C-alpha cells in the first residue's frame, strides 16, 4: 500500500496571524487643520522664533536673561504648540520698536581692598571691565539688555576675586591666563548647535580667582526651593 507524502502546514484563513510581540504601535496621522498645535515643529520654525526673540531684544523688549531662557525653550520645542507661548507676549514682526533701556554708562567696576557688587539693568553697548585688587567684584548680567546678543568683559583679579553671574543657557568663551590663581566656569552647556547669546571674557588671575556662574550654580539652594514651590501649584 502506497503512503502519501506529508503536506506542508498551511495557515487557517479564518484565523488572523498573530502580531509580533516586538512590533510597535504606528501613530495615527495628525490632522494639521483640526489640531495644529500637535504638529511637529521644524528646524526652520524654531530658527524663526529665535530670530523674533533676537529682534525683540534689539528693540528693548527682553532682558538678557529672558532672551537666553526663551531661546533655549525654542530649541527644545517639539511641537508648534510648544513654540507659541514663547512669543505670545511679543508684537508681530514690523511693529513699532519699544524704547530700549538706558545705556549702561558705568563700564569699569573696581574693588581695591573692598567689595563692589553690581546688578546691571542698563543696555550694554560696549565692553565691560572688572578689576579686583585684594577685594571682591561681583557683576550680575541677568537683568541687562544686550541688543547684539554678545557681551565682552575684561576681568583682572590680583589677590582678589571676580565673580560674573550670567543667565542660564548662554555660551561662555574664556581666554587669558592665571598665575597662582584660578579661572573657573560653572555654567550648563547650551543646546548643541543653537544660536544662543555669548559672553566673551578675557580673564587674568594673579593669586586670585575669577569665576563665571549661571543662575543654577549661583544659588542652587534658592533655585531648588523655588522649583519645589512651583511644582506644588
Tens of pLDDT, residue by residue over 141-162, are 999 988 888 999 999 999 999 9
Q: Given pLDDT bands bounded at 50, 70 and 90, which one contains residue 10?
A: low
Helix, strand, or coil (residue 206)? strand
* Residue 85 burial (C-beta neighbours within 10 Å; 0-12, 13-18, 19+): exposed
User: Tell me: the pLDDT tens digits for 100-116?
Assistant: 678 888 999 999 999 99
Q: What is the pLDDT of residue 102?
A: 82
Q: Over the Cα atoms of the chain, what is R_g? A: 28
Plot region of 148 (φ>0 → left; ψ -120 to 50 → alpha; else → beta): alpha
129 close to 177: Cβ distance less than 8 angstroms: no
Provide the percentage of residues in the chain whose pLDDT is more than 70. Answer: 74
CA distances from 12 to 7, 9, 18, 197 (A): 14, 9, 12, 65
Among 22-36, 53-67, 127-141, 213-227, the range of highest mean pLDDT: 127-141
In this prediction, residues 149-178 reach a mean pLDDT of 94
Q: Given pLDDT bands bounded at 50, 70 and 90, which one contains residue 120?
A: very high
> Distance between CA atoms of 24 and 105, rounded to whole angstroms?
61
> Distance between CA atoms of 49 and 83, rounded to whole angstroms?
7
Q: Given pLDDT bands bounded at 50, 70 and 90, which one contains residue 25?
A: low
Q: DSSP string spanning 117-171?
A: EEE--SB--S-EEEEEESSEEEEE-TT-B-TTSEEEEEEEEESSEEEEEE-TT-E
Q: What is the pLDDT of residue 191?
A: 72
Q: Given pLDDT bands bounded at 50, 70 and 90, which one contains residue 57?
A: confident
Among 51-65, 68-82, 84-98, 128-142, the range of highest mean pLDDT: 128-142
Half-sphere exposure of 192 (CA within 13 A, CB side): 0
Which residue in this structure is represented by grid cell 498573530?
18
In this prediction, residues 66-75 reach a mean pLDDT of 91
Q: What is the pLDDT of residue 141?
A: 94
Residue 75 backbone phi and psi in degrees, to 5:
-70, -25
User: Tell me: the pLDDT tens digits for 71-82?
Assistant: 989 998 999 999
Q: What is the pLDDT of residue 26?
A: 52
> Distance between CA atoms of 120 and 1, rounded to whole angstroms?
105
Q: What is the pLDDT of residue 16?
A: 47
Mean pLDDT of the chain: 81
Neighbours of 16 (CB within 10 A): 8
How long, in residues, is the chain? 233
Residue 6 has pLDDT above 60, yes or no: no
In this prediction, residues 198-227 reach a mean pLDDT of 81
Give the sign of the dihedral formed by CA 60, CA 67, CA 43, CA 77: negative
Residue 62 has pLDDT above 70, yes or no: yes
> Distance between CA atoms of 73 and 199, rounded to whole angstroms?
19
> Distance between CA atoms of 211 and 206, rounded to whole angstroms?
13
Residue 219 has pLDDT above 70, yes or no: no
> Distance between CA atoms of 214 and 192, rounded to whole angstroms?
18
Amino acid at each position: 500500500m502506497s503512503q502519501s507524502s506529508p503536506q506542508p502546514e498551511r495557515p487557517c484563513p479564518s484565523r488572523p496571524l498573530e502580531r509580533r510581540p516586538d512590533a510597535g504601535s504606528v501613530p495615527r496621522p495628525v490632522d494639521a487643520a483640526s489640531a495644529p498645535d500637535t504638529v511637529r515643529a521644524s528646524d526652520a520654525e524654531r530658527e524663526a522664533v529665535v530670530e523674533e526673540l533676537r529682534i525683540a531684544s534689539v528693540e528693548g523688549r527682553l532682558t538678557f536673561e529672558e532672551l537666553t531662557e526663551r531661546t533655549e525653550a525654542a530649541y527644545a520645542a517639539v511641537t508648534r504648540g510648544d513654540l507659541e507661548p514663547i512669543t505670545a507676549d511679543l508684537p508681530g514682526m514690523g511693529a513699532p520698536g519699544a524704547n530700549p533701556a538706558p545705556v549702561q554708562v558705568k563700564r569699569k567696576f573696581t574693588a581695591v581692598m573692598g567689595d563692589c557688587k553690581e546688578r546691571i539693568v542698563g543696555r550694554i553697548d560696549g565692553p565691560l571691565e572688572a578689576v579686583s585688587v585684594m577685594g571682591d567684584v561681583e557683576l550680575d548680567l541677568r537683568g541687562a539688555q544686550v541688543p547684539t546678543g554678545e557681551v565682552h568683559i575684561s576681568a583682572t583679579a590680583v589677590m582678589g576675586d571676580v565673580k560674573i553671574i550670567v543667565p542660564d543657557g548662554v555660551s561662555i568663551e574664556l581666554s587669558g591666563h592665571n598665575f597662582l590663581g584660578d579661572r573657573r566656569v560653572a555654567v550648563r552647556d547650551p543646546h548643541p548647535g543653537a544660536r544662543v547669546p555669548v559672553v566673551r571674557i578675557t580673564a587674568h588671575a594673579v593669586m586670585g580667582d575669577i569665576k563665571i556662574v549661571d543662575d543654577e550654580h549661583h544659588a542652587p539652594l534658592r533655585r531648588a526651593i523655588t522649583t519645589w514651590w512651583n511644582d506644588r501649584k
